[in-house]
Amino acid sequence: MRIFIDSANIEEIKAARDLGIISGVTTNPSLIAREGRNFRQVVQEIATLVDGPVSAEVISTEASGMVAEALELAALAENIVIKIPMTAEGLKAVKRLKEKNVKTNVTLIFSANQALLAALAGATYVSPFVGRLDDINHYGMQVIADIVPIFAQHGLETEVIAASIRHPLHVLQAARLGADIATVPYKVIMQMVNHPLTEAGLARFLADWNKVKDK
Ligand code: E4P
């Protein structure tokens, strides 16, 4: 399973990239708004930072507007992927963009049936939102558990991005279930890096070494 960072913050993206474990970035309008900067400038800057897909979301709600926005965004850099919301209009836009060789990431997916439709329309990626399902007392990871074998069984090439990741166990479960990618906030990436026993073990090694280093 690959890991993307779910962020529009340049410092977080650089820090995660420097760890050598990131193969893409996902943004959304809320993450971009948090940065308080021009949308296109942020997306363009992120696209130069990573060697991998960078998802940028359209704002239009009808297909022709989504396609027009998508073409503008896709022209910003070669690695831009267009995030399209999972609606009837979104499906139409995905199909048209596929015909124009523009890659899409269908977002706000909350069921395996939605993922199936997005894949049939020609999505490059689908993003089921695990954490938001957990928030309303559903078992979010079940959607990943359903989608992965369905896509395999029917030879659908669309990749599954486990999204709305809230903690390291989500990443572990997504990997176990065979998600292609998990898009992970910076805070959760660092929670995955750190372990109290690693910290304590390193402190003890260094302390022991310091006792004999001058002998
Ligand atoms: C995915 O692409 C979305 O940007 C993201 O994972 C949403 O996460 P949230 O539910 O924590 O906002």
- The model's pLDDT over 107-146, given as tens digits with 9 standing for 90+, comes to 999 999 999 999 999 999 999 999 999 999 999 999 999 9
Could you tell me if residue 172 is inside a domain? yes
Answer yes or no: is the C-beta of 28 below 6 A from any ligand 1 atom.
Answer: yes
| Domain-located, residue 148 | yes
Cα–Cα dist 136/140, whole Å:
9
101 CA to centre of ligand 1 in angstroms: 25
pTM, rounded to two decimals: 0.96
What are the contacts of 10-14 at 24+ separation with CB within 8 A?
10/35, 10/42, 10/45, 10/46, 10/49, 12/186, 13/46, 13/49, 13/50, 14/49
Res 215: pLDDT:
87
Longest dimension (CA), the chain: 75
Pocket probe mutation, ligand 1, options 3, 5, 6, 144, max atoms within 8 Å of Cβ: 6
Choosing from 164, 171, 189 the residue with most ligand 1 atoms within 8 A of its CB, the one to mutate for a pocket test is 164
Angle at CA of residue 99, ends 71 and 2, nearest 5°: 75
Average pLDDT over residues 24-45: 96
Task: Supply the CATH number for residue 177's domain.
Answer: 3.20.20.70
- Sequence-distant (6+) residues with CB within 8 A of 33 are none
In whole angstroms, give the CA distance from residue 47 to residue 109. 24
Q: Which residues pair with 33 in a beta bridge?
A: none
In a domain, 215, yes or no: no
pLDDT in tens, 11-34: 999 999 999 999 999 999 999 999
Contacts of 155 (CB under 8 A, 6+ apart): none
pLDDT surpassing 90 at residue 49:
yes
Tokens representing 129 are: 């939102």
Q: Residues 102, 125: contact at Cβ < 8 Å?
A: no
Residue 45: inside a domain = yes
Cβ–ligand 1 contact at 127 (below 6 Å): yes
Q: Compute the average pLDDT of residues 50-77.
A: 98
* Segments in the chain forming alpha helices (H): 10-18, 29-35, 39-49, 63-74, 88-99, 112-121, 130-135, 141-153, 168-177, 186-193, 196-212
Which residue CA neighbors atom 12 of ligand 1 most closely?
164
Ligand 1 atom closest to residue 28's alpha carbon, by position in its atom list: 4
Check pLDDT > 90 for residue 150: yes
Residue 49 within a domain: yes
Tokens of 88: 């009837």
Domain count along the chain? 1
Per-residue model confidence (pLDDT) at position 33:
96
- ipTM for this model: 0.97
Euclidean distance between CA atoms 32 and 7, whole angstroms: 8
Is residue 73 in a domain? yes
Structural domain contains residue 42: yes
Is 95 in the active site? no
Flag whether 152 is in a domain.
yes
Q: What is the mean pLDDT of the chain?
A: 97
- Look at ligand 1, atom 9, and give the residue with the nearest C-alpha: 164
Kindly give the distance from the C-alpha atom of residue 67 to the centroid of ligand 1, in angstroms, as a whole number: 22
6 touches ligand 1 (CB under 6 Å): yes
List, as one string, the DSSP characters of 130-150. Answer: HHHHHHTTS-THHHHHHHHHH
Domain that holds residue 154: 2-210
Q: Tell me the CA–centroid distance for residue 203 and ligand 1, in Å.
A: 36
